Structure 1
Amino acid sequence: MTKVNSRMPQFLALAAGAAAVAMTLTACGGSDHSASSTQTSSVTDLFLPPGGESVTACPTAPPVEGVAAEWTLKGATGSIAVTGSTDTTAPSVVVSGPFKVSQTQVHTLHAGQGRAVADNATVSVCYMGVNGRDGSVFDSSYQRGKPVDFGLDRVVPGFQKAIAGQKIGSTVAVAMVPADGYPQGQPAAGILPGDTLVFAIKILNASR
């Protein structure tokens, strides 16, 4: 079996943990896009984008300054302005805070042309997570330059709500209430109880 090389940060995982996600993906054949010569046909079928080429990197260049936000949202307190990623630049999430929402909000920044993502799909995404309390980026696959693969049944509810039903190729943003993220906080990521979290996500692919 091909070993899973992509890293899913533990803060995204539910109680089952990131190790369970890795085991699940390994059982499916893995997702090592960089070792294309050793991929089986099942792996190629799992993560083959609509264009026919596997995506192996997330853009690391900073967003262009002065570009108008694609989503602005006023919360119960504070506000956010989000611009999605492009083929060459990472997304931007600007927080005027502390930002809090009273219910989880999902917004499609750009609709993709692929098939819709199933509720329990295994997906490959680029994402950036921002804490609404202070505007800090607590994790970003854009900074690492590599997509992350995981099952939607293994992540916090707000992340699943943001992706399920969207089309492959879409860029989306979600502002999630603590109950859909980490009601008790997540110290390893600097998340405190009651923090609203904001994610900017690019859906690269999903299992059928």
Structure 2
Amino acid sequence: MPRFVALAAGVASLAVALAACGGSDNTTSSSKTSSVTDLFMPPGGESVTACPSTPPAEGVAADWTLKGATGSIAVTGSTDSAAPSVVVTGPFKVTQTEVHTLHAGEGRVVPDTAKVAVCYMGVNGRDGSVFDSSYERGQPVEFGLDRVVPGFQKAIAGQKVGSTVAVAMIPADGYPEGQPAAGILPGDTLVFAIKILNSTR
């Protein structure tokens, strides 16, 4: 499960698991390594065991730019060899959750109750800080979409496996009460760049 995306605790190596619908678990850990070591099999059958950690090349045009109620973002999706980039002109805030497909995949459509394997990066719209990233850890994570904050589910459900997507989520779809361990304050808009590697029911 992602560190700051999960609805419930239970994975020891995750820094925080939080219930987005009111409850929270303040369990923290200094570990930066995910315990997930499974091999994820995309539709083509080739094992995916790592998320690329190399920054994107300089001068690459953003795949999505969004002007918020305040501030703006420019998101470049990950590739096979480079991590994504989220550039924030802050403070960035949105009044409704916005999802954008950066690059459409060719796999099956992800149901809203699926178990998925993804690479992802989470950025705080208030200050542009990265609060969680499987790209930094170099390893995909696997979780059920019924175990994550609403904005993360909205970003992935209905997309095709192989897609890269981005979401800018209102606080109600992320952490309405904030998440101090991640530096998230109440009212912060969060931005995620996600690569969908696999989906199972």
* 1:56 aligns to 2:32 (yes or no): no
Q: Distance in 2 between matches of 1:151 and 1:68?
A: 32
Match in the other structure for 2:82: 89
Q: How many residues align?
A: 180
- Any gaps of 5 or more consecutive residues in structure 1? 1-6, 23-30, 35-46
**Paired residue for 1:186, among 179, 187, 197?**
179
Q: Deviations over 1:152-173 (max 9, x none)?
A: 0000000000000000000000
* 1:201 aligns to 2:157 (yes or no): no
What TM-score do the two structures reach when normalised by structure 1?
0.83
Q: Residue 54 of structure 1: CA displacement?
A: 1.8
| RMSD of aligned residue pairs (Cα, Å) | 1.8
Q: Distance in 2 between matches of 1:138 and 1:156?
A: 15
Q: Residue 19 of structure 1: CA displacement?
A: 3.9
**Seq. identity, %:** 80
Match in the other structure for 1:124: 117
Match in the other structure for 2:31: none
Q: Residue 138 of structure 1: CA displacement?
A: 0.5
Q: Residue 50 of structure 1: CA displacement?
A: 1.1
Secondary structure of 1:130's match?
Answer: strand
Match in the other structure for 2:9: 17
Q: 1:8·1:18 contact (CA, 8 Å) conserved in 2? A: no
One-letter code aligned to 1:83: T
Q: Deviations over 1:10-69 (max 9, x none)?
A: x2111x32449x9xxxxxxxx7435xxxxxxxxxxxx43111112110001011110111
Q: Residue 73 of structure 1: CA displacement?
A: 0.2
**Correspondences of 1:64-79 after superposition (within 5 Å):** 64-79=57-72
Largest Rg, 1 or 2: 1
Runs of 4+ in 1 over 2 A off after TM superposition: 16-20, 31-34
Q: Deviations over 1:124-166 (max 9, x none)?
A: 0000000000000001000010001110000000000000000
Q: Residue 84 of structure 1: CA displacement?
A: 0.1
Match in the other structure for 2:38: 33
Secondary structure of 1:12's match?
Answer: coil
Q: Deviations over 1:92-134 (max 9, x none)?
A: 0000010000000000000000000010111000000000000
